[in-house]
Amino acid sequence: MTGRGEPPEGPPENNPGWEDEYRSLVFDESFVRAARLQEFSAQERMGDHARAVRSLPGRPTARRRRSRAGIALVLLIVLAFATAVYVGFRNPYPTPVGRRAEPLQSTVIPLAPQGPVPGGAAESLLADGPAAGHRTGASGINMPPVRRTKNFSDSQVTMALTTVKDYLVGSSLDPDVLTAGVVRPVGRLLDPDQTAQFDRSMDAPADDGEHSATGWLVRFDPAEVALADTDVRVNGTLSYTEAGADTLEVVSDHTFTYALRPAVSGPHRADGASLFTVRRVLHFLLDREDIRLHRLEVRSAYVQAGPQSCSADTTGALRPLLAGERADTRGPAGTDPYATGVPAATLCGTLGVSSPAQSPPRGPDAARSPRSRP
């Protein structure tokens, strides 16, 4: 047979003249190259191929282009960050050197009574004595109005004052510190540069102006003295100012009144208590790091405490004269200007307010009781 054959099912409908319906489509070379699938050749199909076609690498799609753009953006960000870090480490301006805390300079002055120390019940002495109008405990350490300074915010000033108050409470009001020899509540608030000086002052106190334990805290010998009442009366002020662009100076001036009794075993006399008064004027410095870490530097301490004898050694602990006792007639130890080593001069004052029968001082100087005459 020659020519076209007719399909068994007959000629296609609606296709007169046997025209091919796909004759209008032209599969040019570019169309073939763009195909994602390609049929294996006859020789290739004779092999062990399981598939009759293979995939061809196609042109990058929009999704791939977006992926590459994202990777490039990430690399650019990483490069910018690395450049910023490098420039930071190569900063031509020197980093400020941290300020080191200086040693504490302290002066402790005993105040000697002019007669026998008055005694009585602790409650009556506190209620009727010179400290009758003073507040009890930490409530007597009042915060001043807080205002921002040139270089410190309100919150930083508040944190500095709070740290100072915590130091005053720990070093002047904590019963364990006063009579049990505990020092941690005080030492944990100090700048690390002062820790060694503080530890030496507690372990081996000396009258050299730098290692007096009573310059750091109020402490009594528990073998001789006990608290007749744990309610300590407190009165005084806190003030602050800038000591530099990075440092706050806080000054505390407080009078603490304690009711004491002899440390004897067994029952003690209810009327055997007496008053003991300590005035502490402390200068604190706090830089930004101290404020952030809740610590401080005690720059100087000026302490007056009585009743005591002028000859009392107050470097390790205060030596109160209790009810009915008198100061000895010995004056302070002499000072030898020819001696070598750290110079030491013992000072002593006279306790002007020693009896609860005396009227408490009035006016702006009320917080300065007891009065002393060095």
Return the structure tokens found at 56.
């061809």
On average, the pLDDT of the chain sits at 81
Q: What is the DSSP letter of 310?
A: T
Query: What percentage of the chain reaches a pLDDT higher than 70?
Result: 68
Question: In Å, what is the CA distance from 194 to each residue of 100, 187, 282, 289, 297?
Answer: 9, 9, 15, 15, 7
Judged against a pLDDT cut of 50, whether residue 370 lies above it is answered with no
Q: Which residue has the tokens 């750290």?
A: 342
Report d(CA 269, CA 247) in Å as an integer.
50
What does residue 349 show for φ and ψ, rounded to 5 degrees? -130, 170
Question: What Rg, from alpha-carbon coordinates, does the chain have?
Answer: 44
pLDDT band at 80; cut points 50, 70, 90: confident
pTM of the model: 0.69
Report d(CA 186, CA 171) in Å as an integer.
6
- pLDDT tens column, 251-290: 999 999 999 999 975 566 778 999 999 999 999 999 999 9
Choose among 218, 215, 235, 226: nearest CA to 137.
235
pLDDT band at 101; cut points 50, 70, 90: confident
Bridge partners of 262, per DSSP, are 225
- pLDDT tens column, 316-369: 999 999 999 999 877 665 555 665 665 555 688 888 764 444 444 433 333 333
DSSP letters for 103-155: PPEEEEEEEE-SSPPP-B-HHHHHHHSTTTTSEEGGGGSPPPPP---SSS-HH
Pairing of strands 37-39, 53-55: antiparallel
Give every CB contact of residue 45 below 8 A, 6+ residues apart in sequence: 52
What does residue 91 show for φ and ψ, rounded to 5 degrees? -60, 125
Bridge partners of 260, per DSSP, are 227, 274
